[in-house]
Structure 1
Amino acid sequence: MPGRYCSLVQASAPVFAPGLTAERLGALAGGSRMWVNGSVLHYYFFAGDRDASVIPVPGTAERRRVSWGGAKEQQDVVRECLAQWQGLGIGVTFTEVDDRTEAELRIGFQLGDGSWSAVGRDALRAGLHERTMNFGWDLTGPGERGTALHEIGHALGMLHEHQSPFAGIHWDDEAVYDELAGPPNFWNRDRTFHNILRKLDPDEVNGSVWDPHSIMEYAFPSGLILEPEQFRAGLNPPGTLSALDKEFVLRWYPPAGPSRPPALVPFRSAPLGLGPGEQADFTVEPPETRTYTVGTFGDSDTVVVVFEERDGEPRYLAGQDDAGTSGNATVRVRLVKGRRYFVRVRLYSSWGPGETAVMCW
């Protein structure tokens, strides 16, 4: 029986300004979907029958309304898997909320809609009443814990491992299309190409080598892979977090330090001194209530995110990614006297003689 596979939504590839160097393009492709470290990702579970959508009945021409709600035993599997990722010591934390408008991750359990997730910061593009993740089958079945770990990996910014150009997989394309066209997936050729046969850009993938043991790797039956020869009889990853999965996520989200970040004082620039992929954090305690601008200066590509401290934890307030443009990342946001805010700046790449700095004014 063929496996049930994660089906990522086909999203437009990021478009960057023409004329960028290969170094800048590589840094942007590799980090554009990753959260800034220190983020608290709030998650919400749809429950009951109030939230639903109409989906096709697989293998038929019929359509039906199916709820997004999930039972507690389904939710508990996801909670346990979120805790497993966080238990690695990563600098991103997960917190459950009961208000969907407070959540960056909104999780549904619509049966028949497949299992999928927005990749990293792509979740911020979804409407506040839309799902950013769905589980389309029973997570309490044997081996299905790996499904939840896999989708959370996507939410952290990871992509499918078998689509890595470093894998060296030579597919029997038509056999793959035939396999996925039937039950239980019922995928058309476009969906199969997007989720299996399409090769990712080398700068997008989870690492510089293929990891057949990754939680982001599908299992495949025999007859689909022609090369490497040892996988002609099938590819069967264990469905757990591999050593390279852990290495990748800890590289992007290293454990946060215990000390409070230094203060970012209005009208006083703070040099960053960052290398590619590194991050600087600051605290802002505004002297007056008004609209402030927070932005970077210098020849660099950065993402700037502002959080407000509420109930002892940072809540996402606003952010901008300059996405390889000629300008710098700049955020205009209303800050209130007596409250504490955090500014996090991640550097993609820099060039030119000057140093990159950040200022609040």
Structure 2
Amino acid sequence: MTFRCIDRVPGDDLQDLLDRGNGRLEAAGDPEYFWPNGATLRVRFLDGLPGLHRQVMAAATEWTDRANLTLVPVEEGPAEIRVTFDEPGNWSALGTMALFTEMFPADGPTLCLGEAPVTTPGRVALLARHEFGHALGLVHEHSSPAAGIRWNKPVVYRELGGAPNFWSPGTVDDNVFARYAADRTQFTEFDPKSVMLYPVPARWTLDGFGTVENTALSATDLEFVAATYPGR
């Protein structure tokens, strides 16, 4: 089982975001790291082929069809979102955390799609939708303040600790079990169709709860981003 990505959140900010309450899942984002409404975000590809760039941009702009933001590809110079395909895994800075140069140097990536060059066009689109959701400030659904998954932790540690993820227990804790604080996030009711929801095998939970891998932006995803960035 391959998890899509790791949230890239600086340590102190991660501790501020994390919470251990109980509840439900829902669409969620962190307002502190939302971009200014109406912002133009430059997207620069640091490597990769032009055809792959076009696939990624086509998927990414599905968000901005509803959000009052503009994604503009640039060939050189400064860019708020800098994409690489040359690092392992798939990850993104959370919203304006991309501007934290101590974590994301100005000449380095803020978003990685390491799986994209070796997978299908459909999965490239899925990965781009998910990671650009993070780039706009959306967090993982299972990490929302109201998340109430009853994890079978020994199973999750064992499976994510092996191939192909090789995650340490701490990485699993931060990216699977931890939840964001309610006073730091905006969220809606549970949306099992959200592209920001990890696929969760039923064997990973104590009560047989499971989710599938969603490939498209759901109606709630689009409603949430439109409410977050109104005016489109």
Q: TM-score, normalised by structure 2?
A: 0.84
Q: 1:136 aligns with which of 102, 109, 114?
A: 114
- Give runs of ≥4 in structure 1 deviating > 6 Å: none
- Mapped contact 2:39–2:70 kept (Cα < 8 A): yes
- Match for 2:116: what amino acid? D
Larger relative strand fraction = 1
Call closer, same or farther: CA 1:168–1:4 in 2, change over 3 Å.
Answer: closer
| Equivalent residues of 1:214, 1:237 under 8 A apart | no
C-alpha distance in structure 2 between counterparts of 1:83 and 1:223, whole Å: 35
State the AA in 2 paired with 1:42: R
- Report the counterpart of residue 83 of structure 2 in structure 1: 107
Unaligned runs of 5+ in 2: 17-28
Q: 1:117 aligns with which of 84, 92, 117?
A: 92
Whether 2:221 is the aligned partner of 1:241: answer: no
Q: Residue in 2 aligned with 1:39?
A: 39
More off after superposition, 36-45 vs 137-146: 137-146
Query: Are residues 192 and 246 of structure 1, via their aligned partners in 2, closer, same or farther at CA, if it must alter by over 3 Å?
Result: same
Q: When you count helix as a share of all residues, which structure comes out higher?
A: 2
Deviations 1:11-65 (A, max 9, x none): 134499xxxxxxxxxxxx9421011111100010012xxxxxxxxxxxxxxxxxx
Q: Residues 150 and 30 of structure 1: is their aligned pair in 2 closer, same or farther, counting only changes over 3 Å?
A: closer
Whether 1:8 and 2:7 are equivalent positions in the alignment is yes
Residue 150 and residue 216 in structure 1: after superposition, are their counterparts in 2 closer, same or farther (change >3 A)? Answer: same
C-alpha separation between the residues in 2 aligned to 1:170 and 1:119? 26
2:9·2:93 contact (CA, 8 Å) conserved in 1?
Answer: no
Q: Partners of 1:244 and 1:206 in 2: how far apart?
A: 13
Q: Equivalent of 2:136, from 156, 160, 185?
A: 156
Q: C-alpha separation between the residues in 2 aligned to 1:204 and 1:74?
A: 35
Distance 1:174 1:213, change over 3 A: same
In the alignment, is the contact (CA less than 8 A) between 2:9 and 2:97 conserved in 1?
A: no
Aligned length in residues: 214
Paired amino acid for 1:86: T
Match of 2:26 in 1: none
2:230 maps to 1:254: yes
Counterpart CA distance in 1 for 2:183 and 2:213 is 23
State the superposition RMSD in angstroms.
2.1
Structure of larger gyration radius: 1
Structure 1 residue 76: Cα displacement: 2.1
CA contact under 8 A between 2:90 and 2:113: conserved in structure 1?
yes
Identity %: 33
Residue 167 of structure 1, CA deviation? 2.7
Equivalent residue letter for 1:246: L
Aligned to 1:168: 148
1:309-348 equivalent positions in 2, closer than 5 A: none
Aligned-partner SS, 2:154? helix
Matched residues in 2 for 1:123 and 1:252: separation? 18
Q: Per-residue CA shift, 1:280-327, capped at 9, x if unaligned?
A: xxxxxxxxxxxxxxxxxxxxxxxxxxxxxxxxxxxxxxxxxxxxxxxx
Q: In the alignment, is residue 213 of structure 1 matched against residue 164 of structure 2?
A: no
- Which residue of structure 2 lines up, in the alignment, with residue 97 of structure 1? 74
| Pairwise CA distance, 1:154 | 0.4
The aligned counterpart of 1:202 is 182
**How far is the alpha carbon of 1:208 from its aligned partner?**
3.7
Q: Alpha-carbon deviation of 1:91? A: 1.1
Q: How far is 1:164 from its partner?
A: 1.7
Q: 2:77 matched to 1:78?
A: no
Q: Secondary structure at the match of 1:220?
A: coil
Structure 2 letter corresponding to 1:107? V
Is the partner of 1:223 in helix, strand or coil?
Answer: helix
